[in-house]
């Protein structure tokens, strides 16, 4: 096996390991900050990262309809509908209608949903800062390569 193929194999192995660690990290982070939210509300709940991001999307764009949520999160409308139903039943979001459009359903956060949205926003700010600090170890040229890699990976897994 040539050097190029050994490097490709190593990159693949590191990528798989990265995905596994990312999943474990997200689970740990989600449970930690959801535990913090539980201290402020009287609810027993479990949410996955997609559901949390749905709450964030609604909080950032409210009022927002199902189609717009699906487009922003790159989810199917069917999957988005299931998530919205769960969030409605749990009391995180509520349905609303605009005065000028009684036909279309829009979503807004409930007061409890707003608390979760704020906690999620705080987590993202901390994670962004953590990433910036991590990336300080790379030169501008290396950052350009990393950026290109992630752009290409985004297209590859589309």
CA distance 116 to 60: 12
**CA dist list (Å): 120 to 4, 11, 117:** 41, 31, 5
**What predicted TM-score, i.e. pTM, was given to this entire model?**
0.68
Assign 109 to helix, strand or coil.
strand
Strand-by-strand arrangement of the 64-65 sheet: 64-65, 101-109, 93-98
Residue 142: the pLDDT is 96
In this prediction, residue 95 has a pLDDT band, given cuts at 50, 70 and 90, of very high
Cβ contact 139:147 at 8 Å: no
CATH of domain 3-156: 1.10.10.10
CA distance 79 to 56: 16
At 117-136, the pLDDT tens digits run: 888 788 788 889 999 999 99
Q: Could you tell me the two tokens for 158?
A: 């589309």
């Amino acid at each position: 096996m040539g050097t190029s193929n050994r490097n490709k194999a190593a990159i693949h192995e590191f990528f798989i390991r990265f995905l596994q660690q990312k999943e474990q990290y997200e689970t740990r982070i989600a449970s930690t900050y959801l535990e913090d939210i539980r201290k402020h509300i009287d609810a027993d709940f479990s949410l996955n990262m997609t559901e949390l991001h749905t709450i964030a999307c609604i909080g950032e764009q409210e009022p927002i309809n199902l189609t717009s949520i699906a487009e922003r999160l790159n989810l199917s409308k069917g999957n988005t509908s299931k998530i919205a139903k769960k969030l409605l039943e749990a009391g995180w979001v509520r349905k609303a209608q605009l005065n000028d459009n009684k036909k279309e359903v829009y979503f807004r956060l409930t007061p409890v949903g707003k608390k979760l949205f704020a906690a999620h926003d705080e987590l993202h700010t901390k994670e962004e800062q953590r990433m910036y600090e991590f990336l300080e170890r790379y030169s501008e040229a290396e950052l350009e390569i990393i950026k290109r890699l992630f752009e290409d990976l985004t297209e590859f897994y589309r």
